[in-house]
Amino acid sequence: MSDSVLRRRRSDRPDFVQTNLDVDRLAEEIIGRYAGEQRIIVDGMPSVATFFQPEYCADFRVMRLAGQLALAVNQRAAPDESVEPLRVPIPDLMLAALLHDLGKQHEDCAPFIELLRQTNLRSSEGPHARERQQYLLDIVRDVHCRKGPCMIDRLRDAGRAELNNPFIATVARRHGHDYEINRSARQGCWWAREINVVTMADDYDALTSEGPERAYKTARHGASEAAGLLRAGVGRGRYEPEILEIFLTDVLGR
């Protein structure tokens, strides 16, 4: 695709490709709008739901890390024409990162989440323990990725106009997919690189943190080990190589 086509399909707003942004301040502003009790619309009826507990919030960490990576990509692209800037403004990408796992709060996902909480997967033993664990995790991933856009619609229908951006629901639906799937001709989409920014941030946080929502992980990895696992993911098409290198050097290497 030619540069002229890319320019036409990108916004004409002068601040679209941002290279100077206080990501930490922006992250606090965004979660301030979405943490706690929120108005939603369920099947046409007003209701309320509570999102993002402030005392421990993996989604907040993922949002901030995704914002740092997005900023680093745009900063690299400014002097280096071989690096393509992101096609989504950083605030929109950070909001999508915050809401990427919202499908876990859908009622259809709740039984599987509760089963995860009741099952000590870290101490599971036996020849088929790993298979049972993976089977349950695959169900949770599939259901919450399909129900994430539904949860975003419930917020949007209650008056959140900023959620009209289709990118946000697309991240909720596709963040679990490998980069090569998201960019493929038959199943892919325009935002494969931008989605992979969120996927990368989410995977790194899952590898290096522990807590109530990370209890299904078999172990908590150190930063160096996690970086090695991310590099291995490039070979199987999980991550976009250029963005991963920027993540490891410009974000984690700071």
Given a contact cutoff of 8 angstroms between Cβ atoms, the answer to whether 93 and 66 are in contact is: yes
Instruction: Please report which confidence band the pLDDT of residue 211 belongs to, taking 50, 70 and 90 as the band edges.
Output: low
Q: Is the pLDDT of residue 46 over 50?
A: yes
CB 200 within 8 A of CB 193: no
Tokens of residue 181, six digits: 């799937």
d(CA 124, CA 100): 28
Tell whether the model's pLDDT for residue 249 goes beyond 90: yes
Residue 243 has pLDDT above 60, yes or no: yes
Residue 15: predicted pLDDT:
67
pLDDT at 180 over 90: yes
Q: Percent of the chain, pLDDT > 90?
A: 58
Average pLDDT over residues 183-206: 91
What's the token pair of residue 180? 């090569």
Q: 123 or 251, which is more confident?
A: 251
Q: How confident is the model at residue 1 (pLDDT cuts 50, 70, 90)?
A: very low
23-37, 157-171, 197-211, 228-242: least confident range: 197-211
pLDDT digits (tens, 9 = 90+) for 103-141: 988 888 878 777 766 665 555 556 666 676 777 778 888
In the predicted structure, residue 208 carries a pLDDT above the cut 80: yes
What mean pLDDT is predicted for residues 9-35?
84
Residue type, 73: V
pLDDT greater than 50 at residue 9: no
CATH topology of domain 16-251: Hypothetical protein af1432 (1.10.3210)
Q: Which residues contact 151 (CB under 8 A, 6 or more apart)?
A: 40, 99, 102, 103, 105, 106, 172
The span from the CA of 194 to the CA of 165, in Å, is: 14
- If DSSP states are collapsed to H, E and C, what string results for the chain? CCHHHHHHHCCCCCCCCCCCCCHHHHHHHHHHHHCEEEEEEECCEEEEEEECCCCCCHHHHHHHHHHHHHHHHHHHHCCCCCCCCCCCCHHHHHHHHHHCCHHHHCCCCHHHHHHHHHCCHHHCCCCCHHHHHHHHHHHHHHHHHHHHHHHHHHHHHCCCHHHHCHHHHHHHHHCCCCHHHHCCCCCCCCCHHHHHHHHHHHHHHHHHCCCHHHCCCCCCCCHHHHHHHHHHHHHCCCCCHHHHHHHHHHHCCC
d(CA 119, CA 111) in angstroms, rounded, equals 12
Is the confidence at residue 239, as pLDDT, over 80? yes
Q: Is the pLDDT of residue 95 over 90?
A: yes
Which range has the top average pLDDT, 1-5, 15-19, 28-32, 81-85? 28-32
Task: For residues 55 and 18, give the distance between their C-alpha atoms in angstroms, rounded to a whole number.
Answer: 30
Share of the chain above pLDDT 70, in %: 81
Q: Using the predicted structure, report yes or no on whether residue 24 has a pLDDT greater than 90.
A: yes
The arithmetic mean of pLDDT across residues 20-35, rounded, is 95
Calpha distance 239→177 (Å, rounded): 10
- Distance (Å, rounded) from C-alpha 26 to C-alpha 23? 5
CB-side exposure of 1: number of CA atoms within 13 Å?
9
Give me the pLDDT at residue 214, please: 55
Phi, psi of 3 (to 5 degrees): -60, -35
